[in-house]
Homo-oligomer: A and B are copies of this chain.
Amino acid sequence: MHKEKVVVGIDIGGTNTVFGFVDRTGKILAEDHITTNHYDEPEVFVAALYEKMMITAARIGREVEILGFGIGAPMGNINKGTIEYPADLPWKGIIPLADIFAKHTSLPVLVTNDANAAAVGEMIYGGAKGMKNFVVITLGTGLGSGFVVDGKLVYGHDGFAGEIGHTSIRPGVSNRDCGCGRKGCLETYVSATGLKRTVLKIMADRLEDSELRRFSFEELDSKKIYEAARRGDPIALDAFEHTGAMLGYKLADVVAHTNPEAIFLFGGLALAKELIFEPAKEHMEKNLLYIYRDKVKLLPSELSTQNAAVLGASSLVWSEMDQKR
């Protein structure tokens, strides 16, 4: 009997690890999760995850053939199948994730970071279908990026390409502390946290009234800032404008490096639509060499935020199979 082919997409986050069984069209046949930070040892984590996946597979209700496991994880490294010095996971140092998986399965296990997985997801299931050269920017707590050149994800020599969140806005001038230990990284401005920091900076500089003045830093979030902006709050509007401008500056660099057909914005901040897209587009164009102007599309991701991480991770395996054909 012909079994349906599926791959397992796994998204390892600091709190939860979500997984799903995904068919070639991007349909999730079954999904579930385990709690990442319940497990002090990565070996125990993988054993529990594998067991839970097998139980979930049985729930699909018909027999499927699993082709492989695609994993998106912070600091995931495709070359070595490792997670290296992740800041937000319960495990330290270099975790040989693919090797640990190999104790349970002989199927392919591919590991990369969340933004790279999102880029492949966009190519396989989203708005980048048929595109050969594009970039995906993920805007969450931080800022990630995945570069696709000539139809293939750029991993680079050490497997860590695509960290534009940690390029500097204005070296030696921008002074905002970054979690990576340096100052002025793009993600300290362009991310959910960056937006909050910019609101505080503007409230410090200016006298205008704003509904945001009644929230503490801890209470503030992008949703509150977005809603205030929609109601015309001048400080919220300026914070979005500034955030988009900073993003636009660095997107111009992205274009000058790899000349993509399109740049996709994915994640929370991208949902603010024109509040972020308009200043980003304006400042990107302003900073482009004339040969690039009005050519590069700036588009919202077509992956749904809810399943994107699992879809992106699963797409690693489909993409690998496509290239081997």
Q: A residues engaging B (CB < 8 A)?
A: 75, 84-85, 132-134, 147, 149-150, 152, 154-164, 166-173, 180-182, 249, 252-254, 256-261, 283, 287, 289-292, 295-296
Residues of chain B contacted by A155 (CB below 8 angstroms): 259
Which among A75, A159, A170, A173 has the greatest number of chain B C-beta atoms within 10 A?
A170
Residues of chain B contacted by A182 (CB below 8 angstroms): 287, 289
Distance in Å from the Cβ of A161 to the closest Cβ of chain B? 4
Residues of chain B contacted by A133 (CB below 8 angstroms): 156-157
Q: Is the CB of B260 within 8 A of A171?
A: no
With A164-B256, A258-B258 known to touch, is A291 a contact of B158 (CB < 8 Å)? yes
Task: Report the separation of the CA atoms of residues A246 and B254 in the bound assembly, to the nearest whole angstrom.
Answer: 18
Chain B residue at smallest Cβ distance from A133 = B157
Q: Is the CB of B164 within 8 A of A257?
A: yes
Number of copies: 2
Instruction: Label chain A's interface by main secondary structure.
Output: loop
Chain B residue at smallest Cβ distance from A159 = B259
Complex A-B: 15 CB contacts under 8 Å = A85-B290, A149-B149, A150-B154, A154-B259, A160-B291, A162-B256, A163-B259, A163-B289, A164-B253, A167-B256, A168-B249, A169-B171, A171-B252, A173-B173, A258-B258
Q: Is the CB of B290 within 8 A of A156?
A: no
| From B84, B158, B170, B258, contact of A154 by CB (8 A) | B258
Distance in Å from the Cβ of A254 to the closest Cβ of chain B? 7
Q: Is the CB of A161 within 8 A of B259?
A: yes
| From B173, B261, B283, contact of A157 by CB (8 A) | B261
| From B156, B163, B290, contact of A260 by CB (8 A) | B156
| From B134, B171, B249, B254, contact of A257 by CB (8 A) | B254
